[in-house]
Each structure stands twice: as C-alpha cells, then as structure tokens.
C-alpha cells in the first residue's frame, strides 16, 4: 500500500522551495540565476495550488496553475530581454554591476 503523503508535508515542501527561491534571489549575483530563482518561486506556488486543488477536490487550483505557467513564460521572456539589454550596455549580468541608482 502506497503511503499517502500528508498534505502538510507537500505544503511545507512547497514553502521550502518558495523560500529557497527567495533566498536565491537574495544571494545569487548572476541575474540569470536570479531569474531562475523567481521561476522556482512561481513553481512552488504552482505546486501549492495543485496540492490544495487535490485536497479540496476542486479544479480551480489546477486551472490557476495553467495561467500561472503562461504568465511566468511571458515574464521570463521580458526578463531575458532585459538581461540582454543590460548585457549590451554593461557587458555583464551581475547584480553587483547595477548599483548606479542609489540613495
């Protein structure tokens, strides 16, 4: 018999991923990695939605995930475009390089 995974375990897992993603945003200097971390956060959210959807026996959550994935794709596109633009002017994709605007 396959042991049912308790929802709280999954949810905690999601939360952990979410915060790992956030931590990545905080720590990583490479903007591409930062973008990935944001994706990670969104995916943690997706997983949460799915988990709840399963728990609640309600399709809305899974529908949401579809939308989120779409939006995330668009977001990545814009993000990557910005990275390219940045690379063109700064010759680098490091977050430390963009500290011109401050105080």
Partner 1 sequence: MEALTTIRPELLTLTDGQLQALMPYFLVFGGISLAIIASVLRSLKPKWPVFILGMLTTIAGICSASGLLGSQAGSELIFNGMMVSDAYSNFFNIVFLASAAFTLLSSFRYLDHEQLQHPEYYVLVLFSALGMMLMASALDLIVLFIALELMSLSVYVLVGFRRADRRCNEAAMKYFILGSAASAILLYGSALLYGMTGSTNIRDILAFVQAHPQGLPVVYVLGAWLVLVGFLFKVATVPFHMWMPDVYEGAPTPVTGFMTTGLKAAAFAAFVRVLISAGYGKGLVTAVQSHFHDILWVSAVLTMLVGNIVALTQVNLKRMLAYSSIAHSGYILVGMIAGPGSEQGYAPVVMYLVAYAVMNLGAFVVLTILAGRDDSGLNLQDLAGLSRRHPWLSFAMGVFMFSMAGIPPTAGFAAKYLLFYSAVQANEIPLVIIAVLCSAISVYYYLRVLVYIYMRDPAGSPAASRVSVWSLVAVSAMVVLTLQIGILPAKMVSAAKKAVTSL
Partner 2 sequence: MIALIPLFPLIGFLINGSWYAFVQAAPGRRKAGSGITGAIATMAILGSFVVSCLLFLQLQGLPPESRVLEQTLFPWMTFAGFKLDMAFRLDSLSTLFTLVVSGVGTLIHIYSIGYMSHDATPGKFFAYLNLFCFAMLMLVLGASLPILFLGWEGVGLCSYLLIGYWYSDPEKASAGKKAFVVNRVGDFGFLLGMFLIFTAFGTLDFEALRSAIVHGGHAALPEGVAVTTVTAICLLLFVGCMGKSAQIPLYVWLPDAMAGPTPVSALIHAATMVTSGIYMVARLNFLYSLSPTAMAVVAAVGGVTAFFAATIAITQKDIKKVLAYSTVSQLGYMFLACGVGAFTAGVFHVITHAFFKALLFLGAGSVIHGMHEEQDIMKMGGLRAKMPVTFATFALGWLAICGIPPFSGFFSKDEILWLAFSSEHGSVLLWGLGALTAVMTAFYMTRLFTLTFLGKPRFSEAHGEKHGHGHGHGDDHSHGHAPAGVHESPFSMTGPLQVLALLSLIGGFMGIPHMSWLEHWLAPVIPAHQATGHVAAEMEWVLMGVSVAGAALGIFLAIRLYADLELPRQFATKWAGLYRVLFNKWYVDELYERTLVRPIHALSQGLWKNFDVAVIDRIVLSFGRASQWSGQTVRTIQTGSIQFYALVLLIGIVLSVGYLIYGLA
By beta-carbon proximity to partner 1, the closer residue of 1 and 96 is: 96
The residues, ordered by sequence, that sit 6+ positions from 79 with a Cβ below 8 Å of its Cβ are 35, 38
Binding of partner 2 at residue 22 (CB under 8 A)? yes
Q: How far is the CB of 46 from partner 1 (least distance, A)?
A: 8
Q: Beta-carbon neighbour count of residue 41 at 10 Å? A: 19
Binding of partner 2 at residue 78 (CB under 8 A)? no
Binding of partner 2 at residue 101 (CB under 8 A)? yes
Binding of partner 2 at residue 27 (CB under 8 A)? yes
The residues, ordered by sequence, that sit 6+ positions from 39 with a Cβ below 8 Å of its Cβ are 21, 72, 76
Residue of 1, 91, 79 lying closest to 35 (CA atoms) = 79
Which of partner 2, partner 1, none lies near 27, with the C-beta cut-off 5 to 8 A by kind? partner 2
């Amino acid at each position: 018999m396959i042991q049912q995974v308790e929802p709280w375990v999954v949810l905690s897992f999601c939360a952990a991923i979410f915060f790992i993603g956030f931590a990545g945003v905080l720590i990583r200097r490479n903007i591409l990695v930062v973008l990935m971390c944001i994706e990670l956060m969104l995916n943690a959210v997706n997983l949460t939605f799915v988990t709840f959807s399963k728990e609640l026996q309600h399709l809305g959550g899974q529908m949401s995930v579809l939308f989120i994935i779409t939006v995330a794709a668009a977001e990545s596109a814009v993000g990557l475009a910005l990275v390219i633009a940045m690379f063109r002017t700064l010759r680098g994709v490091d977050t430390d390089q963009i500290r011109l605007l401050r105080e």
